[in-house]
A and B are shown apart, each in its own frame.
Chain A
Amino acid sequence: MRIVRSTVDFPSFWGQDARAARSGLRRLLERAFDPVQTIRLACLLTLGLVLCTSPVRGEAMPLAGVLNRHCVECHGDFVSEADLRLDKLLADADFDRDFLKWEHLLGRLVDRTMPPPDHGSAPTDAEYDQMIDWLRVKLSAIELRRAETAPRWMRRLNRAEYDNTIRDLFGVTGLSPSGAFPEDDALHGFDNVAEGLTLSPLHVEAYLDAADAILSEALIVGPQPETRTLRHTFNYYEKKDGDAQLRVRDGNSILGKQGETRRWVGGPFHGRFDVQHSGLYRITVRGRPHQFDGAVAGFVTTMNQSHRQAHDVRPEGEGLIEIVGREIRLTAGGSQVFEIDWTENQHRLGQRRAGISESASPFRQLSAVQKMFPNERDRWFNELGWPYFTDLEVEIVGPIYESWPPPATERLLSPAGGQERFEPILKAFLPRAFRRPVKDDEVAVFVAIAEAEQAAGEPFLEALRQAIAAALVSPDFLFLIETPPPESQRGGYVLNDYELASRLSYFLWSTMPDDRLFELAAAGRLSQPDVLRAEVDRMLADPRDSAMTDGFAAQWLGTRRIPALMPEPALFRDVFDDAVHDAIAREPLEFFETIRRENRPITDFLASDFAVVNGPLARFYGIEGVEGQTFRKVPIADPNRGSLVTQAGFLTLTSEATRTSPIKRGAWILERLFHRPPPPPPPNVGTLITEDDPTLRPIHEHLNKHREIAACATCHRRIDPYGLALERFDAVGSYREKEKVLPPEQVYLPAYKQKPVFFEFPKETVFEDGTAVGSVPEFKEYLLGRKNDFARGLTEQLMIYCLGRRLLVRDQDDIDQIVDQLADADYRFGELVRQVVLSEAFRTR
């Protein structure tokens, strides 16, 4: 469930200066995401002490007089508007019971919407602030206490974890049984938070189906299915499909006529085929390159419109080469569609950059000429000098088995030594499936399932499948089970070594522990700090660790939402095409992956001297010398790039389809970089641009005006500067010297009819702490100055991700420590992960 107003999140009530605020109580009293504001009132501290030591009930609210004076007239005994009896609330002073009413009241005070403007009297600003402060402290204390006593939800595997676990449990790559599972809801920012991972009958049915599908690949005997080869050569291209087993169609990307040499000049084509046996298939595309002159060709392949993969080729010579080869697991039944798109062909991109429209392009003309004058074809190709392929060939081979029976089956059956005995097989399988030692009587339960099946007339293998399927639907497999004694205190239970092994491997690898972790757990050594530290280092060096990029970083940075964004083509089609769109969704992850892999300082997220880009993105950013689809790390000269917040993915994600949104950008930075999300806006906030004011204005003027409204100012003084400092990037992240404002009704007009107005950007943006920032590089400097706040924000989010729960008061001491250690270790990413794993919160429940 997406909780929109997550008022129960304590971080918004948390101060940020860790060193200054050692005790949880003091921190409680700091204002929301308000780093510069120090503790305000001594009396608050006293109150805080009272509230932590005495029962919540029965305390009178200071300033009750103010409420009596301005509010009780309408919300009292005689008249009780909106069913609210403030007189009673004040008299009872039962903040626990009346929590929601008080919270509602707090919201009204913060928004300054009560008393209403026509009421005649209102509290002074100082009175407002004092009531707000007092209520915030009061209510957040109650929230924290409630959080401590809330259920300790048990985590089930989410979809990615399920797939990875199956992969490692059976040793079968490429299966994605979770594809048909209901989607996992994210809570507190992540889809592995136990509270948000719901269960339903649909899940159970999907688990049952998945178990069948997995075992039909992992446990197979009998004759090996014949490996078939399907091949299509374009020299024998027929317009009609006939009943060819591999039917190929191009998207006008392959030129040539019946009986002639066919030329592939870029763009996509696809092949459709059926598979009779599920299994691993190899798909190969070959061709003979011409006129490449050392150019790189970039391709994207997909299978059934997903499983996207990028490939680069630098053809040399004129011999037949393999353009793309990939192996993929396919499921029998239904028609399969393989597509290859030659996206990185310089001639077409160059033509678009030069402003030549598709219809007027040499490509189209070539195509037309070909039809009319087949003999002119060679001349055209030679004159254009474009690279192309001939002798194209698509080949599909499968199912492929490296041995028979497949290794997965061998591994499952080997403990029985060739005999038809359930017990040894299950005794070896179950501890790995349940990620812990399994007692003999538990094994007996599953043996009994298999035996019952056998008794019902099923053959040995079917009966074994049944027992293994039962294990895959068991809570011991589906949940990360940690078993504190029933009466244990929260945080008081130290995980055993097996539980720790799972927590560790699901954190870093999103999958089950490997053999070494199991061995260490069995020896009772994993919990030793030096062993744990060494294991973290080993695991960080393992390629499986990129799971953290797809699991943590993709959610932290919101990249999963980028593919669905729709910047208005009428405005951005010249720069923003599918290749760029794909790339901007990938860039933040590649950037994260680079910092992780190279153990770089996390401050690189704020300001770096490198970028991680591929060809399309390099051209978008104006970086020279990067070709192809593969991302690589390159040094950058442009001081306006080199940071998470200057990446087109972030900048597009936080824009509307037609224009930038400094508020979204600012709110995103507060939420994701500093983990201090601003509270939601009050109800019925209008748009910034009102009809009373038809004059076209730059966005910063609208925002300035907006901040004159008292109810808005408090939050927007904090939010807006972060977005305004990035106004030099437009709604898809292109750098611009001036702000272009277009009347909304002109968006779809042809460019020559549009009458945009251009505005200079203001000389500087002033942040709430008074810092003035005049350019993007200065903004990066400003962010760097707040690296401790960022370190805290990142640590908190990493903690939520690895614990699978929201944070509690007790976790803050761990976080303080981690941030301190990080500062001493040059903010290295590896150190952050190491410290998180070694923290008390990580090792206890």
Chain B
Amino acid sequence: MINSIQNTPIITNQGMVQARKNNNNEQVIKPAFGSGKQVDVFWINKLIDSLVDKLPEKTIKENGLLAKAFNACKNFTSPHQRLILGATAIAIQPEIDKNNKDVDEQTREVSAARTAAKAIAGTVTGVPIRALCIKAIEKVTDPKGTSKFSQSFIPNKLAGKAITPEAFEKAFRLVRSHRNSLGTCAALVVMLFTNFLLDVPITKYLTNVFVERNKAKKQAKLEAKGGIQ
């Protein structure tokens, strides 16, 4: 892996590294960018690391439910996660709002209706937006693509003569990280518009529908009991 040409970047699946000579004229490998030191952005990582150090080993069954679930998840991406989170939000959050004893009953009902509406609106818009953004980013970061836009969002350090399509594939984790970042940014830009154009109107409409439906149900119950409040 020591490259005969000094300082030429080499792709590995950990990222780009350089072969260079240190002050003692020895070949050393160091990351091409930055100090290579893992910067711990989150202090909580240290807490989790020390917790993990205390945990025992656990071997899970090869064809057991857990192993199958974990292996299946490798194919899941942001839209899948959004769908799962949306489904659980619709199931759980309105119930929490309905049981909020810190407010009066009417506020509880309106709050639960709005939470359900927001979860539905967010999922209905969020999942396709994420899926479309990922597809679009794959199309514009494809070193083998033939259209004029195929390589338009491949950064310079992952493009050009030094990097063959095979080397690009080898750096699959760095490439995936770049695509995920681009996709997230693209989704954020799209959401600037869809939040106001889609999410808010859908939430408002569904909130009013759910509130009216709840009122009608209550009225029907009261009439059935024949009682006056």
* A and B are partners in one complex rather than unrelated chains: no
